Every structure is written in C-alpha cells, then in structure tokens.
Amino acid sequence: MSTAEQPPGAALRSREHTREKLIDAAFEVFAEVGLNAASVEQITERAGFTRGAFYSNFDSKVELFFAIADDKYTRASEGLQSGVDAILAEALPAGHPITADALETIVTRVLGLTVVDSKLALFESEFEALALRDRDIATRYAGHLREVVAGLAGLLEGALARIGVRFLLPAEQATRLLITAYTAAMKTHLLSGGGDQPSVADLADVAALALVLTERMPER
Amino acid sequence: MSTAEQPPGAALRSREHTREKLIDAAFEVFAEVGLNAASVEQITERAGFTRGAFYSNFDSKVELFFAIADDKYTRASEGLQSGVDAILAEALPAGHPITADALETIVTRVLGLTVVDSKLALFESEFEALALRDRDIATRYAGHLREVVAGLAGLLEGALARIGVRFLLPAEQATRLLITAYTAAMKTHLLSGGGDQPSVADLADVAALALVLTERMPER
C-alpha cells in the first residue's frame, strides 16, 4: 500500500537503510556482550526494528556476522584507496626513480591513515573463534579472508607500480603477510591500552616488513 | 599425617603433579565449552580433584589461563630447540658458507617440526578476546607475549648464527613477524579443515618470510 505510493527505488533504498541500521546496531551489541550472547531481540531493539525486519534482511545471526565483515572490509578498502591516492599524488617523484627515503616516507604516511577500532578487533577475534568451532562457518570465513587479501593485493600492487616499486614475493603472499603483521600490531596496541590513533612506533613492525618485502624496479 | 611419612621432595612433586593435571584438564574443558563457560567445578571434576585442590594451586581461573599459556609455550620452545639442534647437526655445512638452497632446505625442515593444535589455537583466540575486554588481563597478556618473543628470538638468532646467517631486522622484530605469520598460517590451515600435520604449502608464507628476513653473513 504505502510502498505502492513511493517513487521507484524508494522501497529499495528503505530496505538498504534498514539493513545498514541492523548491521550498525549488531556491531555495537556484539562488542558489548559477545557474538554468542547477543540475541536477535537485542539487535532489533537497538536498531529500532521488529524481529520481522531482521529476518527479511538476514537468514540468521551468522549471515549478519558475514554482512558486518563485508561492510567493514568495503569501508576500510575504500578509505585506504583514497588515502593512498592522495599520498601518492603529493609524494610521487615526477619522472625520477623513487629513493629509499621517499619510499620509507610513503610507507609511514600510508600507515598513518590507520585508525584503531577496538570493537572491530574484538569482533574479528570472536568471529575467528566461532569459525574454528564450526566447519561451515570456517569454510565461508576462509573464503571471505581470501577475497580481502585479493582485493588489497590489487590495491597495493597498483600503488607500488605507480612509484616504480614491486613486491619481492607474489603480491597475494606479500599482502597476506602485511595484513597479518598489521592485525598483530593493532592487537598489541589495543592490549597496551592505546587509543584510536596508533603511533609510528606501534606500526614499526609493519613498516619494516613493507620495506623488506619490496624493491625498486630495475630502470628501463 | 601421610605427608610426614613421605620422603623429602615428595610433597612438592605431588603438588606439581596436581597442578599439571589441573592444567591439562582445564585445557580440555576450555576447548570444549570456551573460557567463559568453563566452571572451576567442571575443571576439578575432570581432573579428579576437589575445589580445594584448585584454590591451593590457583588464585582464580585467570591464573589458570596464564599457567596454561606458560606451560604450552615452555613445551613448544623445548621441542623447537631440540628439533632445530637435530636438523642443524645433520645439515650444517662443515666449514663452507651456507648456500641459498641449503638455507631453504633447513627452513622447510624446521617448519616441518610443526604440529597443529586446534585446541591451542582456540584457547589463544578466546584468551585474546578476553584480554581485549579486560585491562588487567591485557597488561599481563602483553607481558606474556613479550617473553615468548624474547625467548624465541634468542633461540632463532643462535640457530642462524651457527649456519652463518643473520636477520635483516632486529631479532625480536623479525621473530615477532615470524610468529605472527606462523599463527596466521596455522589458523588458515585449521579453518580449511586441515589435520594435525600442516603441509609445506600451508607454511609457504612463513618459509618465504623467513628467507626474505635473512641474509648470509659477510665472509670473514
């Protein structure tokens, strides 16, 4: 009835809006009480919807876990791409081969884009523990991680090529190692009571790894 | 009464035995139901002791978490040291500088010492999530991780020096990166349904990282 009166696309946008609000509310509830303890009722109540709204968007709580993981990855990836674009546009040495110092500066600046999200770290730790206990979730979770690596590998390889640098290892392998080091550094930062913005020292392992994993391309 | 009749040292050994049985039982119970859900009763029942035996060995469940982490680290470290000693005794090139191929073989053989412990991965994931939620546990957990890194860095640096190889980065930094890559590889192996023994392919990222992080020492 009321949907019949909406302009074309409005129903779809409203549905998308509901889905986003459920994702945001669930992320907060999960951070507060953990994935297992969080109920569909708590999540829908926080978002201001009914159980019906939940089940018209997600088949189960597990579907919601994956929707959150996808949402967080998409936002992080878009933020990283635009940040890297801005840094390279400014730092790119015009026509000259990049120096080791310039590369180090760029790596430090890219890592400076980082914002720590303790709720996200917690979500990932618990999601991982859940996947380790459930074969079906594990398979899907592994697939999600492969997509994240492939996406970031493309982004990083493209950015390096623009400054005449390449990975010493296959791009996906190097990216997997960088993500792993980055995740560990964030956890160490959080465990030591760090705030939203990690320091250069917090990310020293990742910066050192990035430099060990790359080399300047031979000049043509 | 009966303790008065025991030979000197027996009471201490019996206490140590009780402690070990509690640690083993707790590790099993934690793997089955998770750290939060596991009760002191479940643990003491599994070990065949009373609550009194628990509290004469551990002040709390959290003390037990740290005792388990220390126990697992000590065993893994001793196993690694004796495994590395055996591999180097056999592979050590007598008087000749080590070749890149020989180094790769040694790295592959050392990684072949690995046995996957899905219960340990689960324990660590949950312990980490717990630490991320609790400031005091976080501080102690971070200290535990630093000790693990320092211990393994000494072991690895010593082993490398014996074959004329050194890290390109400070030993603790290189070791932290290797542990991180190893932990991630184990989780990927477990998430993909792998068994007790990871394949060479499962550990490819760690092997590649080990080679990128090292160089032959200049000849004297």
Any idea what the CATH number is for the domain that residue A140 is in? 1.10.357
A5 and A74: one domain? no
Answer whether A201 touches B (CB < 8 Å): no
What is chain B's mean pLDDT, rounded? 89
Q: Tell me the residue range of the domain where B26 lies.
A: 1-58
What pLDDT shows up at residue B119? 87
Are A8 and A72 part of one and the same domain?
Answer: no
Statement to judge: residues B167 and B107 lie in one domain: yes
Question: Alpha-carbon distance A11 to A17, whole Å?
Answer: 10
B140 in contact with chain A, both atoms CB, cutoff 8 A: no
Q: Tell me, what's the pLDDT at A195? A: 75
Instruction: Count up the domains in chain A and report the number.
Output: 2
| Residues B14 and B87 grouped into a single domain | no
- Is residue B34 domain-shared with residue B118, that is, in the same domain? no
B136 touches chain A (CB under 8 A): no
Q: Residues of B with CB below 8 A from A32's CB?
A: none
Q: What is the mean pLDDT of residues A99-111?
A: 90
The string of pLDDT tens digits covering residues B159-186 is 999 999 999 999 999 999 999 999 899 8
pLDDT digits (tens, 9 = 90+) for A178-201: 999 998 998 888 888 877 778 888
For residue B47, give the CATH number of its domain: 1.10.10.60
A116-119: Cβ within 8 A, 24+ apart? A116/A186, A116/A189, A116/A190, A116/A194, A116/A195, A116/A196, A116/A197, A116/A198, A118/A31, A118/A190, A118/B132, A119/A27, A119/A28, A119/A30, A119/A31
ipTM of the complex: 0.81
B113-147 residue pLDDT tens: 887 788 888 898 889 888 988 999 999 999 999 99
Is the same domain home to A130 and A187?
yes
For residue B131, the tally of other CB atoms under 10 A from its CB is 24
| Domain endpoint, select from B58, B73, B101 | B58
Question: Is B133's Cβ below 8 Å from some Cβ in A?
Answer: yes
Residues B132 and B183 reside in one and the same domain: yes
> Cα distance from A80 to chain B (closest Cα, Å)?
23
Higher pLDDT, B204 or A15: B204
pLDDT at B6: 62
Q: What pLDDT is attached to residue A155?
A: 95
- Give the mutation candidate from A128, A130, A134, A173 for the B interface (greatest B CB count, under 10 A): A128
Same domain, yes or no: B156 and B178: yes
Question: Do residues B44 and B89 make contact, with C-beta atoms less than 8 angstroms apart?
Answer: no
Provide, as residue numbers in chain B, all residues whose Cβ is less than 8 Å from the Cβ of A118: 132
Contact yes or no for B193 and A169 at CB 8 A = no
A120 touches chain B (CB under 8 A): no
- Which range, A13-17, A77-81, A130-134, is most confident? A77-81
**pLDDT value at position B8?**
67
Q: What is the mean pLDDT of residues A6-29?
A: 87
Query: Looking at residues B86-106, what average pLDDT do you find?
Result: 81
A190 and A151 belong to one structural domain: yes
- pLDDT tens for B8-40 read 678 888 888 999 999 999 999 998 888 888 999
Angle at A171 between CA A165 and CA A172, to 5 degrees: 155
CB contact under 8 A, A191 and B121: no
Same domain? B41 vs B84:
no
Report long-range pairs for B150-156 (Cβ below 8 Å, ≥24 apart). Answer: B151/B73, B151/B77, B152/B77, B152/B80, B152/B179, B155/B77, B155/B80, B155/B81, B155/B84
pLDDT, mean of residues A161-182: 95
| Predicted local distance difference test score (pLDDT) of residue A5 | 59
Nearest residue of A to residue B193, measured between CA atoms: A135
Q: Are residues B39 and B70 in the same domain?
A: no
Task: Give the count of beta carbons closer than 10 Å to the beta carbon of residue A36.
Answer: 14
Same domain, A72 and A160: yes
Q: Of the candidates A58, A81, A102, which is a domain's last residue? A: A58
Tell me the shortest Cα–Cα distance from A3 to chain B, in angstroms. 44
* Average pLDDT taken over every residue of chain A: 89
Which residues of chain A make contact with B173, given a CB cutoff of 8 A? 204-205, 208
pLDDT at B196 over 80: no
Q: What is the pLDDT of residue B1?
A: 46
Domain boundary pick from A14, A33, A58? A58
pLDDT tens digits for range A81-92: 999 999 988 877
